Structure 1
Amino acid sequence: MIKTLVLRLAIATFLLLLITFVCGYYWLMGSEPELPEAQLFINAQILTMDDENRIVSAIAVRGERIVATGSDEEILALRGPNTVVHNLNGRSLLPGFVDAHGHFPGTGLSAVGIDLSSPPIGAVNNIADIQTLLRSGLANGSDDDWLFGFGYDDSLLAAGRHPSRLDLDAVSTTRPIYVMHSSGHMAVVNSAGLRLAGITTDTADPDGGVIVRDAQTGELTGLLLEHATDLVAPLAMDFSALDFLTMTDAAAAQYLAAGVTTVQSGGVDTRMLKGLYWLSRLQRIPQRVITWPLADANFDEFLSDELNLDDLQSDKFSASALKLIVDGSIQGYTAYLTEPYYQQQADQQDQGYRGFPRYQQAELNEKVTALYCHGLQLALHGNGDAAIDMVIAAVAAAQQTCPREDTRTILVHAQTARPDQLDAMKKLDITPSFFSAHTFFWGDRHRDQFLGPLRGSQISPMADAVARGMRFTVHTDSPVVPMEVNRLLWASVTRQTRSGAVLGPQQGISAMQALRAVTIDAAWQSFKEKDSGSLEVGKIADLVLLDRSPLDGDDSLLNFKVDKVWIGGRCYFQRGADQCTKAE
């Protein structure tokens, strides 16, 4: 009798677990739109982004792939009984935009944190605004829960400084608060948060990071730079699975509205890597996903193949390059420059301050060579030209030890790259990915505060790269700035700042060059050009339909809207509608 009861309980428990698993599985599963047998897209300006930048009026798609391109007459001749015909009425159809570098699903942070951005993104103008917004968040959660804010920019605040530990203590002395800078390279923590993290005045600065102290008293200011944020961020940003799912859903929707069919998460730990992988496999993320795992997080496991990137591949997911962060951000005064910052910070005692690297050269050489010799693609973050020198030296050393071809090593941001560095990069097969949106969001301050007129005018030297025949990409580094592909393209072409000035007009590029940098060249950067990035026969039908031509001038480039998005022939987004109509 007892054995029977135990058996029944065991069966009931198993069935309950099975039901829970099945319900959870279907709750996580994303919906996949219908895939028509065949589709024709006609009467359009179709920018193919092929080698010749051909523009055609029609394409044919069967299943997920493009089967023909040409004139309306040629494509309509392929029409069958079950073919869906889209008459695009002269609008522009392009390959879906490929995010060359960002931090998906970071744009969804507003779902779990408090947005502290200044105009034109948000409404924060001073530290009092930050305090007000943080106080509004105290109603949610308990004293044990971290209060998380993001996106503040000290250079845009009226006080011209970072908020301090004491500023955050004025919000709460009991609830831990973590406020992340817009660059993502620094943060401010209140006293309760510092206590939880075990940081005191006696805590030593970590390698490649600074725990900022008051120059007069030696007391902690609450500001943490670069690697010092690693002492607190894992606690403050330990989001739940539900939070992560909420962020991902919000970010995916924002990227679709921007026409992005391939998202990128550049610098993920193992937990996020696997989380994104499974959400992709469950079709919860509509887009294709490219990730760059952080090399330092599991360095030995990558080299031993205990953590093999080939095990995390699918038709819509890849873990391609490993990322190393060599320096910080210029607007945060942590990028590593060869010459001092143009204007030093008010409390900066070293008037020759040039920022600092996260690695010493010997250590960087060792890491890059080990990964390079293991056959892995690398993405190295370098903003300041001194950091770029370090990257070039490390790659040169690795190439000498283990000569390789077609490595497509990525230099992330490459913001202050000099002409001689571009020459060296071309020889070493280093591809720059320019954060060209800087010219709008921080261009005025780069010119007047951070770098000065000469160096400021040379940031993101895209025209110099074009002159050398180099392939390159451009990116938003979202959520550092919003995922607005139209503004990114416009900034790359016009180099107009927020004040309306033009920063280094000689470095502007054409609209077609900018479009290639977010389509075919962005796909090529991650070895995806055989399947995506252009509209050619045999490639996957990742498509974005715009309401106007991006080639019709600067105003059109800035203000175009995304009307519709297809991924693998399936329509996932239609502006102003909950779901796509079958035909235009």
Structure 2
Amino acid sequence: MSGAPADRIFFGGDVVTVDRDDRVVDAVAVAGGRIAAVGRRDDVMALRGPGTAVTDLGGRALLPGFVDAHGHLALTAQKLASANLSPPPIGRVTCIGDLQREMREQIERRDLAPGEWVIGMGYDDTDVEERRHPDRDDLDAVSREHPVVALHVSAHLLAANSRALEVAGISGVTPDPEGGRIRRRDNGDATGVLEETAMNAVFARLPQPSGQEAEEQALAAMEYYASFGATTAQEAALFSPSFMQACLRLSDAGEMPLDVVAYPLYTLARGMLAADSGRGHGRRFRLGGMKLLTDGSIQGYTAYLSRPYHAAAAGREPSYAGFPTFGSQEKLNAAVADGYANGWQVLAHANGDAAIGMVIEAARAADESHPGVDRRTTIIHAQTIREEQLDEVRELGLYVSFFPGHVYYGGDRHREVFLGPERAARINPMRSALDRGIPVTLHHDSPVTPPDILTAVWSAVNRVTSGGRELGPEQRMTPREAVRAVTIDAARQLFEEERKGSIEVGKLADLVLLAANPLTADPMRIREIVVEETVKEGETVYVP
């Protein structure tokens, strides 16, 4: 090897390249933010110069920086600034009283004046003692002077107090919007729980952060992601112009620690993408395409299934199977065709198999009218996709991004409450997809769960619930497959495989240093592996 001296050389451990041959080598050299050499220690050390930093891995492992295949960086930033209403192990809310305490502490912690919004995120109605959503009365008990909002763990429902409903203009006579529902009492009054598009009236009234606040929140979220080894983050439902502008300012100033790829919601995509044909002008920020929401959340009873839920939702008929957020197949077909016609990559959220069927039909129709392009259309979650639907996905060349956290965090309730044993065992059928040659990625869906990619890998490899029970072990991935799904395969989903996702000469020096190699560690201990350093283009962006 020859060339300019390296800026840094790593040696003395497993360098997991994730290249075409899945090589594990002795050493890697970094120069000018890119990989300069990969291979045997003696060969790579030929690039050592007087100014080269040398890092002895000491038996640890170096992997490509993790690539976020689906998450919500802006909403994660919001959650970090909000009351944490999550149940254990993420938070400490086990009952509605705990939720109220967290919201009251948020008022005190942020010294909120009367009239200012109080926001909490992450509650799970199926994981509190009362087994119900908080209602307007519960949140009125937190405060009547403030608009108070609690966002469900799925981010597909929220609960609002009376003041927030009043500010949003929601009353007993407000009609349900298309693709949404205002839950009501027997007398017709709103309970305070809003489903899907019904939340938009509240979202429209939430205060926007100042430019400086938006930058600070974005940086905090990126630093949080970096602590889990991520070097590329995703904002997969961009709706906040202030967040986008904050990222662009930080990128232009050279202050963004990570790459960020954002996908505006379809209703906003034309304005954002058409106004920026370059997909974002920032060095580390770009717009990747558009995001469609075709149904909701299984744990929120708003995912669109072909068969009824296992245990009927409160206030619903036994035959209830959820609903689509698009009012008709024709409307969804038009949205996907619009994306194809404009050359926008399409990410389509679909949890229920009925919604997945709608996405497949829309992709087929759009492909017939706009054929012959590498689009990498991705079904996000695909939680209950059926075997015959996977055949159609393969035929159409679609990608699938699975959320293995459903197995760990919610698997027991999927089996006992939402889907029943048979359907629950097949949630996130990774093995069925891989065996068909379908491109598969893994994600964490932050802030639904923390942006902990190693826990996503662990869950995909072991398929064990938080209660310690196996759930669909026949759908497990191997550690090698799971690591590829959060590195090179995730980069490929984002059209970035030529510049990141593996440790190969010429690619960006995006790296994560781990205390152990997840390919050789005890599979049940993968999530315990410590991230010891995250490197973005040769620069350290995280150390514990």
How would you bin the TM-score normalised by the shorter chain? over 0.9
Q: Does 2:477 match 1:477?
A: no
| 1:181 counterpart (136, 148, 152) | 152
Letter in 2 for 1:80: G
Answer yes or no: is the 8 Å Cα contact 1:531–1:540 preserved in 2. Answer: yes
Deviation at 1:270, TM superposition (A): 5.3
* Residue identity opposite 2:423 in structure 1: R
Contact 1:106 1:247 in 2 (8 A): no
Q: CA deviation at 1:234?
A: 2.4
Q: Which amino acid aligns with 2:182?
A: I
1:514 to partner: Cα distance: 0.5
Q: CA deviation at 1:558?
A: 1.6
| Aligned counterparts of 1:192 and 1:282: Cα–Cα separation in 2 | 40
Work out the CA distance in 1 between the residues paired with 2:162 and 2:377. Answer: 41
Equivalent residue for 2:254?
Answer: 283
- What percent identity do the matched residue pairs reach? 41
Cα distance between partner residues in 1 of 2:468 and 2:194: 33
2:358 — aligned with what? 390
Cα–Cα, structure 1 residues 467 and 306, in superposed 2: closer, same or farther, change >3 Å? closer
**2:382 matched residue in structure 1:** 414
Name the counterpart of 1:245.
215
* Structure 1 segments unaligned to the other structure (5+ residues): 1-35, 576-584
Secondary structure of 1:263's aligned partner: strand
Question: Are residues 1:537 and 2:510 paired?
Answer: no
Give yes or no for contact 1:549–1:556 (8 Å, CA) kept in 2.
Answer: no
Q: Distance in 1 between matches of 2:402 and 2:279?
A: 30
Q: Among residues 178, 196, 199, which one is paired with 1:229 in the alignment?
A: 199
| Aligned equivalents of 1:486, 1:48: Cα separation in 2 | 17
Give the corresponding residue for 2:309: 341
Q: Work out the CA distance in 1 between the residues paired with 2:510 and 2:480.
A: 19
Unaligned runs of 5+ in 2: none
- The Cα shift of 1:44 comes to 1.7
Q: Distance in 2 between matches of 1:257 and 1:135?
A: 29
Q: Is the 8 A contact 1:270 1:297 kept in 2?
A: no
Q: Deviation digits for residues 499-534 of structure 1, max 9, x if unmatched?
A: 100000000010110000100000000100000000
Q: Match of 1:143, as an amino acid?
A: P
Q: Give, in whole Å, the separation in 2 of the partners of 1:423 and 1:502.
A: 26
1:554-569 equivalence runs, <5 A: 554-569=523-538
Q: TM-score, normalized by length of structure 2?
A: 0.95
- Contact 2:393–2:438 (8 Å) recurs in 1: no
CA offset at residue 199 of structure 1? 0.9
For residue 65 of structure 1, what is the aligned residue in structure 2?
A: 34
8 A Cα contact 1:169 1:191, kept in partner: yes
Where do residues 30-45 of structure 1 align in structure 2 (5 Å cutoff)?
38-45=7-14
Please state if 1:573 is matched with 2:521.
no
**More displaced 10-residue stretch of structure 1: 394-403 or 62-71:** 62-71
Corresponding residue for residue 286 of structure 2: 318
Measured on the aligned residues, the alpha-carbon RMSD in Å equals: 1.6
**Conserved? CA contact 1:565–1:572, under 8 Å:** yes
Deviation at 1:309, TM superposition (A): 4.0
1:195 paired with 2:152, answer no
* CA distance, structure 1, for counterparts of residue 224 and residue 265 of structure 2: 25
**Residue pair 1:277, 1:317 contacting (<8 A) in 2 also:** yes
| Number of the residue aligned with 1:580 | none
Question: How much has 1:269 moved relative to structure 2?
Answer: 1.9
Contact 1:146 1:175 in 2 (8 A): yes
- Cα distance in 1 for partners of 2:254, 2:159 equals 36
Which consecutive aligned stretches of 4+ in structure 1 deviate over 6 angstroms post-superposition?
none
Tell me, yes or no, if the aligned pair for 2:107 and 2:118 is still in contact at 8 Å: yes
Matched, 1:496 2:464: yes
**CA offset at residue 475 of structure 1?**
0.5
For each residue in 1:15-51, what CA deviation from the matched residue of structure 2 results, as whole angstroms up to 9, or x when unmatched? Answer: xxxxxxxxxxxxxxxxxxxxx9522211120110011
Which position in structure 2 is the counterpart of 1:358? 325
Give deviations 1:470-516, integer Å, cap 9, x for gaps.
Answer: 21111010000011122111100000001100000000010110000
Shift of 1:311: 5.1
2:180 equivalent to 1:209: yes
TM, length-normalised to structure 1: 0.89
User: Matched residues in 2 for 1:560 and 1:55: separation?
Assistant: 18
